[in-house]
Protein backbone atom coordinates (compact mmCIF):
# COMPACT_ATOMS: atom_id res chain seq x y z
CA UNK A 1 0.00 0.00 0.00
CA UNK A 2 1.12 3.56 -0.69
CA UNK A 3 -0.36 7.03 -0.34
CA UNK A 4 -0.40 8.01 -4.03
CA UNK A 5 -4.08 7.94 -4.96
CA UNK A 6 -6.44 9.60 -7.41
CA UNK A 7 -8.89 12.16 -6.07
CA UNK A 8 -11.37 13.75 -8.46
CA UNK A 9 -9.30 12.46 -11.36
CA UNK A 10 -5.95 13.89 -10.16
CA UNK A 11 -3.13 11.85 -8.65
CA UNK A 12 -2.19 13.03 -5.15
CA UNK A 13 0.74 12.43 -2.84
CA UNK A 14 -1.12 12.08 0.44
CA UNK A 15 -3.24 15.28 0.42
CA UNK A 16 -1.14 17.23 -2.09
CA UNK A 17 -2.11 17.26 -5.80
CA UNK A 18 0.95 16.36 -7.87
CA UNK A 19 0.36 19.24 -10.35
CA UNK A 20 0.90 21.60 -7.41
CA UNK A 21 4.36 20.14 -6.81
CA UNK A 22 5.19 20.22 -10.52
CA UNK A 23 4.21 23.89 -10.72
CA UNK A 24 6.33 24.82 -7.69
CA UNK A 25 9.43 22.68 -8.29
CA UNK A 26 9.37 21.78 -11.98
CA UNK A 27 9.88 18.33 -13.48
CA UNK A 28 11.39 15.82 -13.34
CA UNK A 29 11.16 15.54 -9.56
CA UNK A 30 11.09 12.73 -7.01
CA UNK A 31 8.21 12.88 -4.54
CA UNK A 32 8.19 10.85 -1.31
CA UNK A 33 5.33 10.15 1.08
CA UNK A 34 6.14 10.39 4.79
CA UNK A 35 3.03 8.37 5.65
CA UNK A 36 4.14 5.49 3.42
CA UNK A 37 7.69 5.48 4.81
CA UNK A 38 6.28 5.42 8.34
CA UNK A 39 3.78 2.65 7.60
CA UNK A 40 6.32 0.41 5.92
CA UNK A 41 8.84 0.80 8.74
CA UNK A 42 6.18 -0.20 11.27
CA UNK A 43 5.26 -3.25 9.18
CA UNK A 44 8.71 -4.66 9.92
CA UNK A 45 8.78 -3.77 13.62
CA UNK A 46 5.41 -5.43 14.06
CA UNK A 47 6.43 -8.47 12.00
CA UNK A 48 9.49 -9.16 14.18
CA UNK A 49 7.70 -8.74 17.47
CA UNK A 50 8.08 -10.18 20.09
CA UNK A 51 11.72 -11.02 19.26
CA UNK A 52 14.34 -8.46 20.28
CA UNK A 53 15.17 -6.71 17.05
CA UNK A 54 16.52 -3.67 15.24
CA UNK A 55 15.31 -2.62 11.78
CA UNK A 56 18.28 -1.00 10.00
CA UNK A 57 17.23 0.92 6.90
CA UNK A 58 19.52 0.28 3.91
CA UNK A 59 20.83 3.77 3.18
CA UNK A 60 21.91 2.72 -0.32
CA UNK A 61 18.24 2.56 -1.34
CA UNK A 62 17.48 6.19 -0.47
CA UNK A 63 20.06 8.38 1.24
CA UNK A 64 18.21 11.67 1.56
CA UNK A 65 18.84 13.19 4.99
CA UNK A 66 15.14 13.97 5.52
CA UNK A 67 14.18 10.36 4.79
CA UNK A 68 16.89 9.08 7.14
CA UNK A 69 15.85 11.46 9.91
CA UNK A 70 12.19 10.53 9.56
CA UNK A 71 13.02 6.83 9.92
CA UNK A 72 15.63 7.44 12.63
CA UNK A 73 13.10 9.36 14.70
CA UNK A 74 10.84 6.29 14.50
CA UNK A 75 13.64 4.19 16.01
CA UNK A 76 15.28 2.76 12.88
CA UNK A 77 18.93 1.90 12.69
CA UNK A 78 20.92 2.33 9.49
CA UNK A 79 22.83 -0.11 7.29
CA UNK A 80 25.66 1.72 5.50
CA UNK A 81 28.21 0.57 2.92
CA UNK A 82 30.56 3.56 2.68
CA UNK A 83 31.96 6.42 4.71
CA UNK A 84 29.66 8.78 2.84
CA UNK A 85 26.60 6.80 3.89
CA UNK A 86 27.94 6.61 7.44
CA UNK A 87 28.31 10.39 7.50
CA UNK A 88 24.81 10.78 6.09
CA UNK A 89 23.37 8.62 8.85
CA UNK A 90 25.20 10.59 11.53
CA UNK A 91 24.18 13.92 9.97
CA UNK A 92 20.55 12.73 10.15
CA UNK A 93 20.96 12.23 13.89
CA UNK A 94 21.35 8.46 13.98
CA UNK A 95 23.56 7.41 16.93
CA UNK A 96 26.55 5.22 16.17
CA UNK A 97 25.17 2.32 18.18
CA UNK A 98 22.34 2.02 15.63
CA UNK A 99 24.60 1.97 12.55
CA UNK A 100 25.77 -1.28 10.96
CA UNK A 101 28.67 -1.05 8.48
CA UNK A 102 28.37 -3.55 5.61
CA UNK A 103 30.16 -3.80 2.27
CA UNK A 104 32.83 -5.94 0.68
CA UNK A 105 35.53 -3.27 0.33
CA UNK A 106 35.75 -1.18 3.50
CA UNK A 107 38.94 0.89 3.59
CA UNK A 108 41.08 1.52 6.65
CA UNK A 109 40.04 5.18 6.58
CA UNK A 110 36.38 4.16 6.61
CA UNK A 111 37.00 1.78 9.51
CA UNK A 112 38.78 4.53 11.42
CA UNK A 113 35.98 7.03 10.85
CA UNK A 114 33.34 4.59 12.10
CA UNK A 115 35.35 3.48 15.14
CA UNK A 116 35.97 7.08 16.16
CA UNK A 117 32.41 8.20 15.48
CA UNK A 118 30.65 5.18 16.97
CA UNK A 119 29.41 1.99 15.36
CA UNK A 120 27.10 -0.88 16.28
CA UNK A 121 29.08 -3.47 14.34
CA UNK A 122 31.08 -4.17 11.22
CA UNK A 123 29.77 -6.95 9.00
CA UNK A 124 33.14 -8.34 7.92
CA UNK A 125 33.32 -10.05 4.51
CA UNK A 126 36.83 -11.50 4.18
CA UNK A 127 39.98 -12.56 6.00
CA UNK A 128 41.99 -9.55 4.71
CA UNK A 129 39.27 -7.26 6.06
CA UNK A 130 39.52 -8.98 9.46
CA UNK A 131 43.26 -8.29 9.57
CA UNK A 132 42.82 -4.67 8.48
CA UNK A 133 40.09 -3.99 11.04
CA UNK A 134 42.15 -5.57 13.82
CA UNK A 135 45.08 -3.36 12.85
CA UNK A 136 42.99 -0.17 12.81
CA UNK A 137 41.14 -0.92 16.06
CA UNK A 138 44.40 -1.78 17.83
CA UNK A 139 46.06 1.42 16.62
CA UNK A 140 43.16 3.40 18.10
CA UNK A 141 43.23 1.49 21.37
CA UNK A 142 39.65 0.34 20.93
CA UNK A 143 37.63 -2.77 20.11
CA UNK A 144 35.60 -3.28 16.95
CA UNK A 145 32.35 -5.27 17.33
CA UNK A 146 32.02 -7.67 14.39
CA UNK A 147 29.90 -10.24 12.68
CA UNK A 148 31.19 -12.31 9.79
CA UNK A 149 29.04 -12.26 6.68
CA UNK A 150 28.64 -15.85 5.57
CA UNK A 151 27.78 -16.83 2.03
CA UNK A 152 25.29 -19.72 2.33
CA UNK A 153 25.35 -20.63 -1.38
CA UNK A 154 21.61 -20.10 -1.73
CA UNK A 155 20.23 -18.96 -5.08
CA UNK A 156 17.72 -16.21 -4.35
CA UNK A 157 16.14 -16.56 -7.83
CA UNK A 158 16.38 -12.82 -8.35
CA UNK A 159 18.01 -10.66 -11.03
CA UNK A 160 21.59 -11.66 -11.85
CA UNK A 161 22.91 -8.21 -10.92
CA UNK A 162 21.37 -8.17 -7.43
CA UNK A 163 22.01 -11.78 -6.31
CA UNK A 164 24.53 -11.92 -3.45
CA UNK A 165 24.24 -15.30 -1.73
CA UNK A 166 25.64 -17.79 -4.26
CA UNK A 167 29.13 -19.20 -3.99
CA UNK A 168 30.18 -17.42 -7.19
CA UNK A 169 29.12 -13.99 -5.85
CA UNK A 170 31.71 -11.62 -4.38
CA UNK A 171 30.01 -11.27 -1.01
CA UNK A 172 30.81 -12.94 2.31
CA UNK A 173 32.92 -15.93 3.29
CA UNK A 174 31.97 -19.50 2.34
CA UNK A 175 29.77 -20.90 5.09
CA UNK A 176 31.82 -24.11 4.99
CA UNK A 177 34.83 -22.12 6.26
CA UNK A 178 32.94 -20.07 8.83
CA UNK A 179 34.10 -21.97 11.94
CA UNK A 180 37.72 -21.73 10.80
CA UNK A 181 37.53 -17.97 10.18
CA UNK A 182 35.60 -17.28 13.39
CA UNK A 183 38.48 -18.97 15.21
CA UNK A 184 40.91 -16.63 13.43
CA UNK A 185 38.80 -13.61 14.39
CA UNK A 186 38.68 -14.67 18.04
CA UNK A 187 42.50 -14.81 18.13
CA UNK A 188 43.00 -11.31 16.69
CA UNK A 189 43.41 -8.27 18.96
CA UNK A 190 40.94 -5.40 18.79
CA UNK A 191 37.97 -7.48 17.65
CA UNK A 192 34.86 -8.62 19.52
CA UNK A 193 32.60 -11.22 17.91
CA UNK A 194 28.93 -10.34 18.44
CA UNK A 195 27.07 -12.41 15.86
CA UNK A 196 26.58 -13.67 12.30
CA UNK A 197 25.56 -11.81 9.15
CA UNK A 198 23.91 -13.13 5.97
CA UNK A 199 22.35 -11.39 2.97
CA UNK A 200 21.37 -13.32 -0.16
CA UNK A 201 20.05 -10.69 -2.57
CA UNK A 202 17.48 -8.06 -3.38
CA UNK A 203 13.90 -8.01 -4.69
CA UNK A 204 13.10 -11.56 -3.50
CA UNK A 205 9.49 -12.54 -4.10
CA UNK A 206 9.60 -15.97 -2.45
CA UNK A 207 10.36 -16.82 1.19
CA UNK A 208 11.94 -20.17 0.26
CA UNK A 209 15.49 -18.87 -0.32
CA UNK A 210 15.34 -16.85 2.91
CA UNK A 211 14.26 -19.92 4.85
CA UNK A 212 17.03 -22.04 3.35
CA UNK A 213 19.67 -19.44 4.24
CA UNK A 214 18.36 -18.80 7.76
CA UNK A 215 18.20 -22.51 8.51
CA UNK A 216 21.89 -22.75 7.65
CA UNK A 217 22.60 -19.74 9.87
CA UNK A 218 20.73 -21.38 12.76
CA UNK A 219 22.87 -24.51 12.41
CA UNK A 220 26.01 -22.37 12.26
CA UNK A 221 24.96 -20.49 15.40
CA UNK A 222 24.75 -23.71 17.36
CA UNK A 223 28.11 -24.91 16.01
CA UNK A 224 29.86 -21.62 16.82
CA UNK A 225 28.45 -21.58 20.32
CA UNK A 226 29.74 -25.11 20.78
CA UNK A 227 33.15 -23.76 19.71
CA UNK A 228 32.97 -21.22 22.52
CA UNK A 229 31.95 -18.11 20.56
CA UNK A 230 29.35 -15.72 21.91
CA UNK A 231 26.68 -15.24 19.23
CA UNK A 232 24.18 -12.66 20.44
CA UNK A 233 23.01 -11.11 17.16
CA UNK A 234 21.86 -12.44 13.82
CA UNK A 235 21.94 -9.90 11.00
CA UNK A 236 19.61 -11.43 8.42
CA UNK A 237 20.08 -8.77 5.74
CA UNK A 238 17.32 -7.33 3.60
CA UNK A 239 16.00 -8.16 0.17
CA UNK A 240 12.25 -8.62 0.54
CA UNK A 241 10.69 -7.54 -2.75
CA UNK A 242 7.94 -5.08 -3.60
CA UNK A 243 5.22 -5.12 -6.28
CA UNK A 244 6.44 -2.94 -9.16
CA UNK A 245 3.22 -3.49 -11.09
CA UNK A 246 -0.32 -3.86 -9.82
CA UNK A 247 -0.85 -6.91 -12.07
CA UNK A 248 2.02 -9.04 -10.76
CA UNK A 249 1.69 -11.64 -8.06
CA UNK A 250 2.27 -9.92 -4.74
CA UNK A 251 5.55 -10.64 -2.90
CA UNK A 252 5.33 -12.06 0.63
CA UNK A 253 4.12 -9.71 3.33
CA UNK A 254 6.46 -8.59 6.13
CA UNK A 255 4.13 -10.42 8.52
CA UNK A 256 4.81 -13.71 6.71
CA UNK A 257 8.53 -12.92 6.63
CA UNK A 258 8.51 -12.30 10.38
CA UNK A 259 6.76 -15.63 11.01
CA UNK A 260 9.45 -17.38 8.96
CA UNK A 261 12.21 -15.63 10.95
CA UNK A 262 10.66 -16.80 14.22
CA UNK A 263 10.30 -20.32 12.85
CA UNK A 264 13.93 -20.62 11.71
CA UNK A 265 15.98 -18.65 14.26
CA UNK A 266 13.51 -17.53 16.90
CA UNK A 267 14.56 -20.17 19.44
CA UNK A 268 18.22 -19.09 19.53
CA UNK A 269 17.80 -16.17 21.94
CA UNK A 270 19.51 -13.77 19.55
CA UNK A 271 18.69 -10.16 18.78
CA UNK A 272 17.54 -10.01 15.17
CA UNK A 273 18.77 -7.31 12.82
CA UNK A 274 17.31 -6.84 9.36
CA UNK A 275 18.29 -4.35 6.67
CA UNK A 276 15.29 -3.56 4.45
CA UNK A 277 15.60 -0.71 1.99
CA UNK A 278 13.41 -1.25 -1.05
CA UNK A 279 10.33 -2.40 0.89
CA UNK A 280 10.43 0.69 3.11
CA UNK A 281 11.23 3.34 0.50
CA UNK A 282 10.34 1.82 -2.89
CA UNK A 283 6.58 2.34 -2.96
CA UNK A 284 6.98 5.50 -0.87
CA UNK A 285 8.23 7.47 -3.87
CA UNK A 286 7.31 8.40 -7.42
CA UNK A 287 9.20 10.15 -10.20
CA UNK A 288 7.07 12.93 -11.65
CA UNK A 289 7.81 13.88 -15.28
CA UNK A 290 6.34 15.91 -18.12
CA UNK A 291 5.71 15.02 -21.75
CA UNK A 292 7.95 17.07 -24.08
CA UNK A 293 6.85 15.65 -27.41
CA UNK A 294 4.71 12.99 -29.05
CA UNK A 295 6.64 11.56 -31.98
CA UNK A 296 5.40 9.21 -34.66
CA UNK A 297 7.89 6.59 -35.80
CA UNK A 298 7.77 3.64 -38.16
CA UNK A 299 5.10 1.44 -36.66
CA UNK A 300 5.40 2.96 -33.18
CA UNK A 301 4.70 6.18 -31.32
CA UNK A 302 7.18 7.68 -28.89
CA UNK A 303 6.28 9.52 -25.71
CA UNK A 304 9.32 11.72 -25.07
CA UNK A 305 9.59 12.83 -21.44
CA UNK A 306 11.78 15.37 -19.64
CA UNK A 307 12.92 12.55 -17.30
CA UNK A 308 15.77 10.39 -18.55
CA UNK A 309 17.94 7.40 -17.71
CA UNK A 310 20.22 9.67 -15.68
CA UNK A 311 17.24 10.39 -13.39
CA UNK A 312 15.96 6.79 -13.14
CA UNK A 313 18.45 4.23 -14.43
CA UNK A 314 16.74 1.03 -13.28
CA UNK A 315 14.97 0.30 -16.60
CA UNK A 316 18.20 0.80 -18.58
CA UNK A 317 20.39 -1.05 -16.07
CA UNK A 318 18.15 -3.93 -15.01
CA UNK A 319 15.37 -3.97 -17.58
CA UNK A 320 13.20 -2.99 -14.61
CA UNK A 321 9.48 -2.35 -14.89
CA UNK A 322 7.84 0.72 -13.35
CA UNK A 323 4.14 1.40 -13.72
CA UNK A 324 3.75 4.69 -15.61
CA UNK A 325 0.47 6.49 -15.01
CA UNK A 326 -1.01 9.84 -16.07
CA UNK A 327 -1.37 12.38 -13.28
CA UNK A 328 -4.72 13.44 -14.71
CA UNK A 329 -6.78 10.27 -15.06
CA UNK A 330 -7.42 9.96 -18.79
CA UNK A 331 -9.59 6.88 -18.62
CA UNK A 332 -8.83 3.53 -20.20
CA UNK A 333 -5.49 2.92 -21.97
CA UNK A 334 -6.26 3.25 -25.68
CA UNK A 335 -2.84 4.09 -27.11
CA UNK A 336 0.48 2.26 -27.11
CA UNK A 337 3.69 4.23 -26.63
CA UNK A 338 7.40 3.66 -26.33
CA UNK A 339 8.18 5.84 -23.31
CA UNK A 340 11.62 7.40 -23.68
CA UNK A 341 13.80 10.20 -22.37
CA UNK A 342 15.86 12.89 -24.13
CA UNK A 343 19.34 11.47 -23.43
CA UNK A 344 21.42 10.55 -26.49
CA UNK A 345 21.38 6.79 -25.81
CA UNK A 346 19.04 4.18 -27.24
CA UNK A 347 19.12 2.71 -23.74
CA UNK A 348 17.25 5.80 -22.53
CA UNK A 349 14.00 3.88 -22.84
CA UNK A 350 11.67 3.39 -19.89
CA UNK A 351 9.11 1.14 -21.57
CA UNK A 352 8.25 -0.33 -24.97
CA UNK A 353 4.72 -0.85 -26.19
CA UNK A 354 3.22 0.51 -22.97
CA UNK A 355 -0.58 1.06 -23.15
CA UNK A 356 -1.60 4.46 -21.75
CA UNK A 357 -4.48 6.87 -22.11
CA UNK A 358 -3.96 9.44 -24.88
CA UNK A 359 -1.48 12.09 -23.69
CA UNK A 360 -0.54 15.52 -25.00
CA UNK A 361 2.53 17.74 -24.75
CA UNK A 362 2.89 19.11 -21.23
CA UNK A 363 0.93 16.28 -19.62
CA UNK A 364 2.28 14.95 -16.33
CA UNK A 365 3.07 11.28 -15.77
CA UNK A 366 4.26 9.44 -12.67
CA UNK A 367 6.63 6.49 -12.40
CA UNK A 368 5.36 4.47 -9.44
CA UNK A 369 7.54 2.60 -6.95
CA UNK A 370 10.54 4.85 -7.62
CA UNK A 371 11.50 5.70 -4.05
CA UNK A 372 14.31 3.12 -3.88
CA UNK A 373 17.38 3.08 -6.12
CA UNK A 374 16.08 6.13 -7.98
CA UNK A 375 17.59 9.42 -6.86
CA UNK A 376 20.56 7.67 -5.22
CA UNK A 377 21.63 6.25 -8.60
CA UNK A 378 21.02 9.45 -10.56
CA UNK A 379 23.79 11.25 -12.42
CA UNK A 380 24.43 14.40 -14.44
CA UNK A 381 24.98 12.54 -17.71
CA UNK A 382 24.48 14.80 -20.75
CA UNK A 383 25.09 17.71 -18.32
CA UNK A 384 21.55 17.36 -17.00
CA UNK A 385 21.09 18.71 -13.45
CA UNK A 386 20.43 16.14 -10.73
CA UNK A 387 16.74 15.59 -10.16
CA UNK A 388 15.34 17.35 -7.04
CA UNK A 389 13.51 15.56 -4.22
CA UNK A 390 10.37 16.51 -2.32
CA UNK A 391 8.88 15.08 0.89
CA UNK A 392 5.12 15.24 1.47
CA UNK A 393 3.44 15.01 4.85
CA UNK A 394 -0.31 15.39 4.88
CA UNK A 395 -1.30 18.53 3.00
CA UNK A 396 2.13 20.15 2.81
CA UNK A 397 5.44 19.47 1.13
CA UNK A 398 9.06 20.57 1.27
CA UNK A 399 11.96 20.44 -1.15
CA UNK A 400 14.49 18.20 0.59
CA UNK A 401 17.10 18.40 -2.17
CA UNK A 402 16.95 21.26 -4.67
CA UNK A 403 17.72 20.97 -8.34
CA UNK A 404 21.22 22.43 -8.88
CA UNK A 405 21.52 25.29 -11.35
CA UNK A 406 23.72 25.10 -14.41
CA UNK A 407 26.00 27.62 -12.70
CA UNK A 408 26.27 25.28 -9.69
CA UNK A 409 27.28 22.45 -11.99
CA UNK A 410 29.85 24.52 -13.90
CA UNK A 411 31.36 25.91 -10.68
CA UNK A 412 32.45 22.42 -9.61
CA UNK A 413 34.95 22.22 -12.47
CA UNK A 414 38.31 23.99 -12.48
CA UNK A 415 40.26 24.93 -15.58
CA UNK A 416 44.04 24.81 -14.95
CA UNK A 417 45.92 28.13 -15.30
CA UNK A 418 48.06 26.64 -18.06
CA UNK A 419 44.96 26.33 -20.23
Nearest to 319 by CA among 401, 238, 409, 203: 203
Taking the domain 103-274, which CATH number applies? 3.20.20.10
Per residue in 307-346, pLDDT (tens digit) is 999 999 999 998 999 999 999 997 888 899 999 999 999 9
Which pLDDT value is given to residue 285?
98
Q: How confident is the model at residue 148 (pLDDT cuts 50, 70, 90)?
A: very high
Which pLDDT value is given to residue 161?
44
pLDDT at residue 376 greater than cutoff 90:
yes
Which pLDDT value is given to residue 166?
41
Which pLDDT value is given to residue 48?
95
**pLDDT more than 70, % of the chain:** 95
Which pLDDT value is given to residue 157?
55
The answer to whether domain 4-31+282-411 and domain 103-274 are alike in fold is no
For the chain, give every domain's residue range: 4-31+282-411, 103-274
Task: Please name the fold of domain 4-31+282-411.
Answer: Lyase, Ornithine Decarboxylase; Chain A, domain 1 (2.40.37)
How far is residue 151's CA from residue 229's CA, in Å, rounded to a whole number?
A: 19
Which pLDDT value is given to residue 334?
85
Residues acting as catalytic residues = 344
How far is residue 411's CA from residue 419's CA, in Å, rounded to a whole number?
A: 17
Which pLDDT value is given to residue 169?
56
Burial of 51: CB neighbours in 10 Å, binned 0-12, 13-18, 19+: middle
Asked if the bond preceding 230 is cis, omega within 30° of 0, the reply is: no
Q: What is the mean pLDDT of residues 350-377?
A: 96
Q: What is the mean pLDDT of residues 376-399?
A: 98
Per residue in 157-167, pLDDT (tens digit) is 544 544 444 44
Q: What is the pTM of this model?
A: 0.94
Q: What is the 3-state secondary structure (H, E, C) of 319-369?
A: CCCCCEEECECCCCCCEEEEEECCCCCCCCEEEEEEEECCCCCCCEEEECC
pLDDT at residue 194 greater than cutoff 90:
yes
Q: How confident is the model at residue 199 (pLDDT cuts 50, 70, 90)?
A: very high
Amino acid sequence: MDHFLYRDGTLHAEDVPLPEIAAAVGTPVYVYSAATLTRHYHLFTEALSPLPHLVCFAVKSNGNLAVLKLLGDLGAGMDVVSEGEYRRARAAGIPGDRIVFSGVGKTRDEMRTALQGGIRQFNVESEPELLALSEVATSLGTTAPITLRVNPDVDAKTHEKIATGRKEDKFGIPIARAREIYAQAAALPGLQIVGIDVHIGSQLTDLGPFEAAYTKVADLTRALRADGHRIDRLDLGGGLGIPYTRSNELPPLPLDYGAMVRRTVGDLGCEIEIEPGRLISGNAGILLASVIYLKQGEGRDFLILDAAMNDLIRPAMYGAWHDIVPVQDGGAPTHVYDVVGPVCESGDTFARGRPLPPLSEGALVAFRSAGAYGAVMASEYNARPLVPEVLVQGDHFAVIRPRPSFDDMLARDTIPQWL
